[in-house]
């Protein structure tokens, strides 16, 4: 595939429109489909406004904006996809709906068209099972907002042939994205490895180790993260963040490492969804009053050490289970969620033995399977090995 290849995108929501923008920016004709004309109208209007702001800030020229908009065709008819070399689906995370979409598309596109889903929580194998020819199907998981976030997880399914993966990956690389290859397992790389960032922060809150602003302060000022876990959950939305945790927990056959918290569940039930609802772990609005953190360096380091150790343990498991390479795990966490360091590189800076000691101490204290040290981490400490 090259710049002359036509790209199809299904779903004119935020993600679908963002993917269409990326493809068009790199010179492709794009057909953006949605079953609802109102949604297409909103997408077109919203994208035009976003791009015009770039002109106002002297980041783009008017000709560039007009070119991007003119190359995107907002359509209500899937038959326009008969010329597409790649079709990316970005509709609601519902297996039945996705399978129905791809069954219809398969009857329209030519035999060489690569089909892809942007799913973040469903297995590639389950979506592809609706197809007659699943060999050309894979996951291409962008992060929101697609035009700005550099990472894309490439996820071949059990039926995907290598040529389809290679071709799709090269194209996305040509779009200026950073691609990583992930096995078709729950959460792929980022949504799997990142779970302790949220869950271990909530656990420390529930135990009374520290309050919300103090944990966020520690993770930012001491840990070097751009946002604290509670700030980030409020920003993402607790309905979305909790659903991802719940899905990963279920798909890993209820492994306690991924167990959701009652604290976040109750917030979702109460409608405290974060920034979008005006209230989450923090209050939002003109007259919002939020407490200040307790800036205790010793306490802050304790908070950071616990969360980072659990993140490293999960990164080790991703490598141990061949979900991704060492390089791709670290790259994914830096580029996908803006971590200050690759977790496995960070582990070496801390010392693998120190990380293992911290996790082992948690397991001894709580006697929970949640805190079991990963076998790869144990093996590497025993053999005095490093990741790099």
Q: Which of 5, 118, 191, 199 is catalytic?
A: 191
CA distance 213 to 310: 20
Q: What angle do CA 196, 151, 140 make, to 5 degrees?
A: 100
| 141 counts as catalytic | yes
Sign of CA dihedral 63, 68, 71, 74: negative
Check: CB of residue 63 under 8 Å from CB of residue 76.
Answer: no
Q: Which of 120, 128, 159, 374 is catalytic?
A: 120
| 283 counts as catalytic | no
> Which DSSP state fits 72?
E
Strand 137-142 relative to strand 114-117, pairing: parallel
| 386 counts as catalytic | no
Q: Which of 89, 141, 200, 238 is catalytic?
A: 141
CA distance 39 to 12: 6
Number of H helices, E strands in the chain: 17, 8
Q: Phi and psi (nearest 5°) for 84?
A: -80, 140
> Which DSSP state fits 137?
E
| 191 counts as catalytic | yes
Q: Which of 29, 106, 153, 314 is catalytic?
A: 153
In the chain the beta strands, taken as DSSP E runs, fall at 7-10, 30-33, 72-75, 86-89, 114-117, 137-142, 151-156, 178-181
CA distance 284 to 288: 5
Catalytic residues, by residue number, are 120, 141, 153, 191
């Amino acid at each position: 595939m090259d710049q002359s290849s036509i790209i199809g995108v299904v779903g004119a929501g935020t993600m679908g429109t963002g993917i269409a923008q990326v493809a068009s920016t790199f010179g492709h004709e794009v057909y953006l489909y949605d079953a609802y004309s109102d949604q297409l109208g909103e997408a077109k209007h919203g994208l035009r406004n976003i791009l015009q702001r770039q002109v106002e800030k002297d980041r783009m020229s008017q000709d560039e904006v007009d070119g991007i908009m003119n190359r995107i065709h907002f359509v209500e008819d899937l038959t326009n996809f008969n010329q597409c070399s790649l079709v990316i689906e970005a509709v609601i995370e519902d297996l039945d709906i996705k399978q129905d979409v791809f069954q219809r598309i398969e009857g329209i596109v030519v035999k060489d068209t690569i089909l892809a889903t942007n799913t973040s929580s469903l297995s590639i194998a389950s979506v592809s099972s609706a197809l007659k020819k699943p060999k050309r199907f894979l996951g291409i998981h962008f992060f929101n907002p697609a035009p700005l976030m550099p990472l894309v997880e490439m996820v071949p399914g059990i039926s995907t042939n290598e040529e389809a993966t290679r071709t799709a990956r090269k194209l996305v690389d040509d779009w200026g994205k950073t691609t990583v290859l992930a096995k078709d397992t729950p959460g792929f790389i980022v949504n799997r490895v990142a779970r302790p960032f949220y869950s271990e922060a909530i656990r420390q809150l529930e135990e009374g180790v520290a309050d919300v602003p103090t944990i966020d302060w520690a993770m930012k000022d001491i840990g070097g993260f751009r946002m604290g876990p509670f700030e980030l959950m409020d920003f993402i939305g607790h309905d979305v963040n909790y659903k991802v945790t719940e899905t990963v927990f279920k798909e890993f056959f209820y492994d306690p490492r991924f167990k959701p918290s009652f604290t976040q569940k109750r917030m979702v039930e109460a409608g405290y969804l974060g920034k979008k609802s005006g209230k989450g772990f923090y209050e939002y609005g003109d007259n919002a009053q939020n407490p200040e953190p307790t800036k205790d360096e010793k306490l802050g380091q304790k908070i950071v050490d616990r969360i980072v150790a659990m993140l490293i343990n999960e990164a080790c498991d991703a490598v141990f289970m061949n979900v991704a390479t060492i390089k791709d795990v670290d790259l994914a966490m830096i580029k996908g969620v803006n971590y200050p360091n690759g977790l496995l590189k960070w582990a070496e800076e801390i010392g693998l033995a120190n990380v293992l000691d911290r996790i082992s101490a948690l397991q001894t204290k709580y006697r929970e399977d949640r805190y079991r040290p990963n076998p790869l981490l144990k093996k590497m400490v025993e053999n005095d090995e490093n990741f790099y």
